[in-house]
Amino acid sequence: MSSECGGRSAVARRSSAARAIVAALLLALGPGGPGAAATEDDLFRQVKVDIFDQNWPAVLSGCEEVLKKYPSGPSAPQAEFYRARALTRIPGREAQGLGAFRKFVSGHPLDRVMVEEAWAAIFSTACSSPAQTAACGAALREGLAGASPYVSMLAAIHASDSSDRALRARALPVLKKAYAAQTDQEIRNEILIAILKVDPQQVPQSDAPAPTPSPAVSPGAPPRAGTPSLIRMTVYNKQEKRYDLRVNLPVAFARMLVEAIGDQERKELQHEAQRKGIDLDDIFRAIEKSGAGKLLEVDDDTCHIEIWIE
The answer to whether 164 and 156 have CB atoms below 8 angstroms apart is no
Q: How many domains does the chain have?
A: 2
Domain assignment present for residue 192? The answer is: yes
Are 245 and 184 in the same domain?
no
Range of the domain at 243: 230-309
Domain assignment present for residue 211? The answer is: no
Are 277 and 183 in the same domain?
no
Are 186 and 70 in the same domain?
yes
Single out the residue of 91, 79, 168, 88 nearest to residue 121, CA to CA: 88
- pLDDT for the residue numbered 239: 74
Residue 178's CATH number = 1.25.40.10
Domain assignment present for residue 17? The answer is: no
Are 169 and 278 in the same domain?
no
Domain assignment present for residue 218? The answer is: no
Are 149 and 251 in the same domain?
no
Are 136 and 94 in the same domain?
yes
- pLDDT for the residue numbered 186: 83
Dihedral, CA of residue 78, residue 83, residue 89 and residue 93, to nearest 10: -150
Q: For each of the chain's 310 residues, which pLDDT tens digit applies?
A: 444 443 443 334 444 444 444 444 333 334 444 445 679 999 999 999 999 999 999 999 999 999 999 999 999 999 999 999 999 999 999 999 999 999 999 999 999 999 999 999 999 999 988 777 888 999 999 999 988 999 999 999 999 988 889 999 999 999 999 999 988 888 888 888 888 888 877 877 653 334 444 444 444 444 444 566 677 777 777 777 776 666 666 666 666 665 655 566 666 666 666 665 656 566 666 666 656 666 666 677 777 777 777 7
- pLDDT for the residue numbered 27: 39
Model pLDDT for residues 21-36, shown as the tens digit of each residue = 444 433 333 444 444 5
Instruction: Return d(Cα 19, Cα 58) in angstroms, integer.
Output: 20
Are 165 and 246 in the same domain?
no
Domain assignment present for residue 83? The answer is: yes
Measured CA to CA in angstroms, residue 199 lies from 17, 165, 195, 196, 204 at distances of 62, 11, 6, 5, 11
The answer to whether 119 and 151 have CB atoms below 8 angstroms apart is yes
- pLDDT for the residue numbered 198: 86
Domain assignment present for residue 79? The answer is: yes
User: What SS3 state is found at 239?
Assistant: coil
The overall pTM is greater than 0.75: no
Instruction: Return d(Cα 115, Cα 67) in angstroms, integer.
Output: 18
**Helix or strand (DSSP H, E) at 209:** none
